[in-house]
Structures are given as structure tokens and as C-alpha cells.
Amino acid sequence: MPEFAAEMVALSVDLIAVIGAVTVRAVRQATSSVPIVFAVVVEPIGDGLATSLERPSGNVTGVTTFDPQQAITQLEYLRALNPRLERVAILSDQGVSACMSNSNRQAAESLQLQPQVIRVEAPLADYDGAFAAMDREHAQALVVLEEPINQACRKQIANLAAAHRLPTVFPISMLDAGGLLAYGTSLREAARKMASYADKILRGSGPGNLPIQAALSHELVVNLQTARRIDVAVPSAMLAKANQVIQ
């Protein structure tokens, strides 16, 4: 990523649009003058990308998809699938801050669930070892966090979860992974806000003066193919709430 960022800066581009905190950091190291607009950054302050949401300053602004209620809702959906749910695994990326994994741990504890946070390390994340650890702790469900290495390996994660017969909830950005549930803030909304900011900056606005926005509308997708594969019954009430049902 640092090489790609340096190449873009050398080409004298007018603006760089990026996805995710890891990418923002790589581009910011390459330039302090070219405007950077981001999306799908969970915690801009916690990840060290801004000191203030209202006035990020510098050459970076964008859209956060962090909703503190999202972790609770994801866990409630998993509990709806299994009312006896007690132990839940949380899969995280060692390469980013622990803000999201900590908030998910706290959400699980607030629901009287026992969380098992597993942080894998890029570039060769040991997912086989991660699922072996879940087996040892008798995890009954899995929350996959919206973090870079999980995004890159989302289909591998979904296949391993199915092999271990673990119900999963992925972020909506990993809808194509094939997990049982995908729930989270809307990427469509984030993309529209990101494009609007790019337009404003190209028309002369300074990125440091544009407050970091939040994209907080949500989508729920239920994959009945995966439900059948792991022999899980999805409640009709959940199907009625879903924005999309994959048959």
C-alpha cells in the first residue's frame, strides 16, 4: 500500500479516495497535501486518523461507519438464532486498534455472554488456529469484525465457520462472504457521502474543514443457503426484518 500511495502522489492526482483505516494511514504517510477522503473507517479518532470529528484538520476527512449500537444488535440476532447462546467468538485484526474488538467484548458482556476475542495477524492470518481456539472454548457463534484482514479473507472465514457449524454475523461490507447473517451500516450511504465530499473538495473546500460524517442506516441480509448448510432455523420474524434473503 505505501508503494501504491507513493505512485499516486507522484502522478500529481487532485484527490485520493480510500477504503479503511489501514489504507488511510498508508496514503497519509505519502502526502500531507493531497486531499484524502475515506469511507468504512470504524473509529477515526481511535485509529489515529483525526483528533476531532468536527474539524479533522490536515488533509484527511471522510465517513465513519461506526455505530456503537451495532455490536449489540448483531449479538441479539445471533441470540435469536440460538436462545441458549452463552459463548461467542469475536474475530479481529491484530493490525488495527483494539477499539472495535473492545466495544464488541463489552457489548457481549452487557448481554451476559462470554466473549472470546481472537486477533489474527496479517499477511498470513492463522484462521485454522483461530477456529481451533474457538472449538477449545466451545464457541457457539461468531462475530466477524469489519477489519482489513477479515475483509480480504472473508470467504475463507465463512467456509471455516460452516465447516465448524458456527452461525456467523458479518458486517454488511462482507455480504458476499457467504456467512449466515450480514448486518451493519450501509455501504451505499457511505459511498454517497464520500462522493459528496470528493465533489466539495474538488470544488475548493479544504478537507480539514469538513467534519467527519457518520453513515448509520443499516441493512440486514439472511443467507438461507448457509442456514441449511449448518442446520440452523431462522425465525420468521428475522426474515421479515431482512432487507434481503438469499435463497
Question: What are the pLDDT digits (tens) for 187-216?
Answer: 788 889 999 999 999 999 999 999 999 888
Q: How far apart are CA 113 and CA 92, in angstroms?
A: 18
Q: How far apart are CA 114 and CA 238, in angstroms?
A: 23
Provide the grid cell at 216. Answer: 448509520
Sequence-separated (6 or more) residues with CB below 8 Å from residue 214 = 63, 64, 65, 66, 67
pLDDT at res. 40: 80
**Fold classified for 70-185+219-246:** Rossmann fold (3.40.50)
pLDDT at res. 244: 96
Q: Residue ranges of the chain with pLDDT lower than 50?
A: none
The DSSP call for residue 29 is H
Helical segments of 89-153, H only? 99-110, 127-136, 148-152
Residue extent(s) of CATH 3.40.50.2300 domains in the chain: 2-66+186-217, 70-185+219-246
Calculate the CA 63 to chain-centre distance: 13
The DSSP call for residue 208 is G
pLDDT at res. 21: 83
CATH superfamily placement of domain 2-66+186-217 = Response regulator (3.40.50.2300)
